[in-house]
Amino acid sequence: MDHLLNADLHSHSLVSDGTLAPEALAQRAKANGVGLWALTDHDEIGGSERALQAARAVGLPCLTGVEISVTFIGVTVHIVGLGFDHRDPVLAEGLHRTRSGRERRAREMGDELARVGIPGAFEGAMKFVDNPELISRTHFARYIVEAGHCKDTYEVFRKYLADGKPGYVPHQWAALRDAVGWITGAGGVAVIAHPGRYKLSTNEEFALFSEFKALGGQAVEVVTGAHGQADVVKYAEFCREFDLMASRGSDFHSPEESHCDLGRLPDLPGHITPVWTALESRVQ
């Protein structure tokens, strides 16, 4: 698998906070010229079997995937797992525990939003939820747009749902050690997702990469929907500095909401090792 493979190793279905079914995503990825695809739903691998089957049906090479929510020094970071055994019981149990606090958090979010003039947000968000174990801020954002409080989901996050805003409820996610351990224990590769999005100081970011590497993490997303060119250059350099492989993924959620479509991404810079070179035997 070569360097310029159109790999898209980060995407979401309605099994978490995307709007398309795994089957529709596989078809869209194929139509967009993706050459290797992974469905990476938040804290959930319930769509894996459907994704693998749908990819097979359209002749699209596919890896198992997940995006695990982690709390690292009080900050939420996301760790993508690729190419693991999706029947691994330790991974399944870890993800189940990671999901378990979401409903209570969502009810609190509903209470907070009611205080700032948005009543009924929990029930409203639930209308957009397909998987009852996976209510997320994205579902609230969709409801708040539908109810006419904001023009799009980006505005909702800016005004209500980002850290520090009135509808934000802090939450304790998985430990970095556990997330990396579940992924590698199931035979997969752990990847730091969209590092350019975290509000970490230089020292904190160094700590994240150092600990991640020490725990057995192997890759970082260099090219992803949320990264500009400066991020690509920066995290390609981090690959060299921390001896990590590079991943590439759109983080596609929805045709209506996502700025970056499946497979419509810049190439990886030339001097780094693509994560898919270590995953050839895992492609299904």
Structure tokens at 39: 């469905």
- Which listed range, 121-129, 136-144, 213-221, 276-284, lies at the site for ligand AMP (CB under 6 A)? 136-144
Q: Are strands 65-72 and 75-82 parallel, antiparallel or unpaired?
A: antiparallel
- Find, among 22, 1, 64, 100, the residue nearest to 190 by Cα: 64
Residues 51-80 that bind Mn ion (CB under 5 A): 67, 78
Residue recorded with tokens 């690959």: 239
Shortest approach of ligand AMP to residue 59 CB, angstroms?
Answer: 29
Q: How far apart are CA 183 and CA 279, in angstroms?
A: 13
142 counts as binding ligand AMP under rule CB under 6 A: no
258 counts as binding ligand AMP under rule CB under 6 A: no
Residues 241-280 that bind Mn ion (CB under 5 A): 251
247 counts as binding ligand AMP under rule CB under 6 A: no
**Nearer Cβ to Mn ion, position 110 or 195?**
195
Exposed e or buried b for every residue in 123-161, given b needs 16+ CB within 10 A? ebbbebbebebbbbbbbbbbbbbeeebbeebeebbeebb
Residue recorded with tokens 């190793």: 9
- Which listed range, 54-62, 118-126, 131-139, 233-241, lies at the site for ligand AMP (CB under 6 A)? 131-139
136 counts as binding ligand AMP under rule CB under 6 A: yes
**Nearer Cβ to ligand AMP, position 199 or 240?**
199
Q: How many beta carbons lie within 10 A of that of residue 236, not counting itself? A: 19
First-to-last alpha carbon distance for the chain, in angstroms, is: 14
162 counts as binding ligand AMP under rule CB under 6 A: yes
Distances (CA, A) of 122 to 118, 148, 245: 10, 16, 40
| DSSP H helices in the chain | 22-31, 48-58, 89-99, 102-115, 121-126, 137-146, 153-156, 176-185, 202-214, 229-242
17 counts as binding Mn ion under rule CB under 5 A: yes
194 counts as binding ligand AMP under rule CB under 6 A: no
Residues 74-133 that bind Mn ion (CB under 5 A): 78
**Nearer Cβ to ligand AMP, position 27 or 69?**
69
42 counts as binding ligand AMP under rule CB under 6 A: yes
Q: How far apart are CA 206 and CA 200, in angstroms?
A: 9
11 counts as binding ligand AMP under rule CB under 6 A: no
Report the residue from 17, 41, 178, 231 that binds ligand AMP according to the rule CB under 6 A. 17
69 counts as binding ligand AMP under rule CB under 6 A: yes
Report the residue from 98, 153, 224, 250 that binds ligand AMP according to the rule CB under 6 A. 153
**Nearer Cβ to Mn ion, position 43 or 112?**
43
Residues in contact with Mn ion by CB under 5 A are: 17, 67, 78, 193, 251
Residues in contact with ligand AMP by CB under 6 A are: 17, 42, 69, 136-138, 153-154, 157, 162, 253
